[in-house]
Amino acid sequence: MRQLTLAVLSALLMLACSQAQAPLSASDVVVTRSVPGMPMSAGYFKLTNNSGQAINISHVTSPQFASVQMHETIITDEVARMVSLEMLILQPGETVRFEPGGKHLMLMQPANDIDSVTLDFFAGESLLLSVNTDFDR
């Protein structure tokens, strides 16, 4: 009986661990298909810090693109400027949106014949999150 109880508890513990939220999660991930002839796409998503401490995202990479940069389009007095985001800081519980006309990923120089894109989010050398998505259009 005791062994059975332990087995059940172990199973429940494993289930709980498997369902625990990762410190960083992404949703609504979209990578736009490049306009024909153009070497870049844009990446949009919602990024949430599920942990109890701040997360600093230093850079994003993708095996399907030669270069990925975090940018923000800032429109002031009807003039659009694109600025680089050197670091993205998410406070505990915070969700940041990357969306058209705002923060976005600029993905440069795609490999040939890609159907899906992987985005890897890093804090320094630590890989925090890896997500896959199809091209949007």
Partner 1 sequence: MNFRKAFIVFASLTAITAGAWFSFQLASPPPAPRTATVLPATSELPEFSLLDQSGQVIGRNVFEGQWDLLFFGFTQCPDICPTTLQVLADAQRQLANAGQDPLPRIVLVSVDPERDTPDVIGQYVGHFGNDSLGITGPMDELRKLTNSLGIFFEKSKPDEDNYSVAHSAVVLLIDPDGRFHSLFGSPHIAENFVHDLPIIMSAG
Nearer to partner 1, 92 or 101 (CB): 101
Q: Max CA-CA distance within the chain?
A: 73
Under the criterion CB under 8 A, does residue 58 sit at the interface with partner 1? Answer: no
Q: Which two tokens stand for residue 75?
A: 């429109």
SS3 96: strand
- Among 34-42, 56-64, 112-120, 127-135, which window interacts with partner 1 (CB under 8 A)? 34-42
Least Å from the CB of residue 52 to partner 1? 33
Minimum Å gap between C-beta 131 and partner 1 is: 19
25, 73, 118, 133: which one binds partner 1 (CB under 8 A): 73
Query: Per CB under 8 A, which of residues 76..135 are in contact with partner 1?
Result: 78-82, 100-101, 104, 106-108
Cβ(92)–Cβ(42) below 8 Å: no
**Minimum CB separation from partner 1 for residue 64, in Å?**
15
CB contact at 8 A, 47 and 98: yes
CA 62 to chain centre: 10
| Tokens coding 107 | 């993905």
